[in-house]
Amino acid sequence: MTFNEELTLKVEYIESVLDKFVPEEEGYAKTVIEAMNYSLKAGGKRLRPLLMFEAYRLFGGEEDVIEPFMAAIEMIHTYSLIHDDLPCMDDDEYRRGRKTTHTVYGEGMAVLAGDGLLNYAFETACKAFDKLNVLQGNEYNAKTIGRAISILAGKSGIYGMIGGQCADIEAENLPADQVTEERLLYIHEHKTAALIQNALMVGAVLAGANEIDLAKIERVGYNIGLAFQIQDDILDVTSTLEQLGKPVGSDEKNGKTTYVSINGLNKSKADVEALSEEAVNILKNMGDGNEFLEELVIYLVDRTK
């Protein structure tokens, strides 16, 4: 089986996991739930639940206790995209090849849909506790699941993704010479890499990884996240709406300083490759080995959308 064939099967599996946990569109809250599901079911790479699942496998995880967390992290990622697209943020009309949530449901309902997904993500993650009775005799326990939820919350919050978003918004109002590479790396580490670290660390914790390996997988997440964001900046310059599924050139339109605008296209491409290579080298010496995960990191370097 080729990498692309395996990737397709794994994404189909993730879609089936999401289907297990999406809320029913009914009652007086039906409209906001429709908006939540519209966004969640819009497709995409499903990178974060995929990384979570592969990290779980890397350390020998086999049970389906990982599934509520896979759904939860995609809900958190999707809520962040809904809010990113709002007129008060990036003001984008397209996401994943179709109209953004606020252009379909209105700004107020889009805000509620994002809020709903964030809260429902933790409702969903807590369903892992329901599996404790089934998993008696294994190493899963309430403390392990609690720690995974703590990582899920921490890397998504003010010391993670939201903190990075805060720094990003403030950077947009600064003169270009004040948006230093140090500030930009903080933004990328927290806004983008933190959620990828989140995925890998939750998968590792639930599979029983030790503290040394947990620190290593956190470093892998940093490298992947930074490389992914730099590649996103590159694609905003080099891609098209048809390829990317969202408007290109938005960073320049918004006067936004990016890794590419500071370092240039060639260095940015070289840095993506170097970061990915280091991540792969770390992975080669961890857990039970996971060739697909290593190939996935390399795949991210060459992605076109």
What pLDDT is attached to residue 137?
Answer: 47
> CA 296, 61, 276: angle at the middle one, nearest 5?
20
Mean pLDDT of the chain: 90
Q: What is the tens place of the pLDDT at every residue in 269-292?
A: 999 999 999 999 999 998 888 999
Share of the chain above pLDDT 70, in %: 91
Helices 107-125 + 142-154 axis angle, to 10 = 150
Q: Is the pLDDT of residue 249 over 60?
A: no
User: pLDDT category, 194, cuts 50, 70, 90?
Assistant: very high
C-beta atoms surrounding 109 within 10 Å: 19
C-alpha span between 257 and 272 (Å, rounded): 18
Residues 229 and 197: beta-carbon distance below 8 Å: no
Question: For 84-108, what is each residue's pLDDT tens digit?
Answer: 999 998 888 988 888 999 999 999 9
Model confidence, pTM = 0.90
Q: Are the C-beta atoms of 43 and 11 separated by less than 8 Å?
A: no
DSSP the chain: --HHHHHHHHHHHHHHHHHHHPPP--STTHHHHHHHHHHHTS----HHHHHHHHHHHHTT--SGGGHHHHHHHHHHHHHHHHHHTSTTTT--SEETTEE-HHHHH-HHHHHHHHHHHHHHHHHHHGGGGGGTTTTTTSS--HHHHHHHHHHHHHTTSTTTHHHHHHHHHHHHTS-GGGS-HHHHHHHIIIIIIHHHHHHHHHHHHHTT--HHHHHHHHHHHHHHHHHHHHHHHHHHHH--HHHHSS-SSHHHHTT---HHHHH-HHHHHHHHHHHHHHHHHHHTTSTT--HHHHHHHHHHHT---
What would the pLDDT profile of 119-153 be if each residue is shown by its tens digit?
999 999 999 988 776 555 444 688 899 999 999 99
C-alpha–C-alpha distance, residues 204 and 211, integer Å: 10
pLDDT of residue 241: 47
* Nearest to 72, CA basis, from 188, 170, 151: 151
C-beta of residue 3 within 8 angstroms of C-beta of residue 297:
no
Distance CA 213, CA 127 (A): 26
Hey, what domains does the chain have and what are their CATH numbers? 3-301 (1.10.600.10)
223-247 residue pLDDT tens: 999 998 998 888 888 755 445 555 5
Q: What is the pLDDT of residue 287?
A: 82
| CA atoms of 233 and 236, how far apart (whole Å) | 5
Q: Given a cut of 60, is residue 109 above it in pLDDT?
A: yes
